[in-house]
Amino acid sequence: MDKIRRLTAEHMVIAKRVAPHVHSFIEIDFSAIDFIRAESKERWASQGARVSYTAFVAWAVSRVLREFPTVNSTISGNNIIYRGNVNLGMAVDLNPGLIVPVVHDADHLGLVGIGNKIVDLATRARDRKLVPDEIQGATFTITNPGVLGTLVGLPVIPKGTAAILGTGAIEKRVVVVTDPDTGTDSMAIRKKSLFSMGYDHRIVDGADAARFLARLKETLETFPNDA
C-alpha cells in the first residue's frame, strides 16, 4: 500500500467500526437545473466559470444543512457537537486512490463561487498540490460515483461527521408527470438521479434523514435563478 491507500484503509475501518450506518435514498429531477445551465452557459463561459451538476448539489446541500444542524453535527463521548460552519468535503478520484478536499464555509459562497472552488480543489488534488488545511475540517461529505456511471452507492461516513451524500448517475428516464392545471397525467422524458445518504444512527434518525433529503429534493427541483 502507498501512503494514501494505507491512510484510507485505516480511516474506513475506524469509520465502519464506530458509526452504525443507515442509508436512505431519494430521486432527483434535474430539469430545473438543466434550464438554468442552458440559460447561463454563455455568461459563465465569458466569466471563465465552470459550474457542474456537483456545484448545484453542493450549493443546495450547504443551504439545507443550515436547517438540519443534526446532520451537520458530530459526537464527542456522550455529547453532540453542533457545528456553526458548513464545510463540505468533496471526494476526488485520484485513480488510484481517493482524497477529500474541503470547501470551507460553503454556505457563504454563491453557485459560481462553489463551482470554481470545486474545480480548483479537484485540480490541485490530482496534482498533489493541496495544503493540509484544505483536507481537514469537513462537517459533511459529498461523493459522486455517478460520474463513472454508477446508479447509486452506499458510501461510508467519514470519521468526525454524521452523514455523507452519494450522487448517482444522471440519466434520461421516462416518467409520469401531472399537469398542475388540469390534473391529467402524461409521459415525459426527464433527467433523473438517485441520491443516497449514509448517516450515523447514533445522531441521525431515519425521519431526520427523510426530512433532509425531501428538503434537498425540493431545493434542487425548484433551484433559484439568483443562487
Mean pLDDT score across all residues of the chain: 95
The pLDDT confidence band at residue 213, using thresholds 50, 70 and 90, is very high
Three-state SS letters, 80-100: EEECCCCCEEECEECCCCEEC
Is residue 185 flagged as an active site residue? Answer: no
Cβ count within 10 A of residue 115? 22
Amino acid symbol at 224: P
Identify the pLDDT of residue 226. Answer: 82
Per-residue model confidence as pLDDT tens digits over 103-150: 999 999 999 999 999 999 999 999 999 999 999 999 999 999 999 999
For residue 96, pLDDT over 90 is answered with no
For residue 166, pLDDT over 90 is answered with yes
For residue 4, pLDDT over 90 is answered with no
CA distance 107 to 67: 12
Helix (H/G/I), strand (E/B), else coil: 155 = coil
Burial of 184 (0-12, 13-18, 19+ CB in 10 A): exposed
- Using a CB cutoff of 8 Å and minimum separation of 24, what contacts does 131-137 make? 134/101, 134/102, 135/99, 135/100, 135/101, 135/102, 136/102, 137/85, 137/87, 137/102, 137/104
Identify the pLDDT of residue 39. Answer: 93
Which of these is catalytic: 34, 205, 208, 226? 205
The mean pLDDT value for 91-109 works out to 94
Domain boundaries, the chain: 3-221
Cβ count within 10 A of residue 66? 10
Domain 3-221 has CATH 3.40.50.2300: no
The mean pLDDT value for 19-29 works out to 97
- 200 Cβ contact list (under 8 Å, min separation 6): 19, 20, 21, 75, 157, 161, 162, 163
Identify the pLDDT of residue 168. Answer: 97
Which of these is catalytic: 127, 179, 201, 226? 201
Instruction: Tell which wins on pLDDT, 227 or 200.
Output: 200
Q: At what angle do helices 53-67 and 31-47 cross, to 10 degrees?
A: 110
The mean pLDDT value for 84-103 works out to 94
The mean pLDDT value for 146-161 works out to 95
For residue 58, pLDDT over 90 is answered with yes
Is residue 201 flagged as an active site residue? Answer: yes
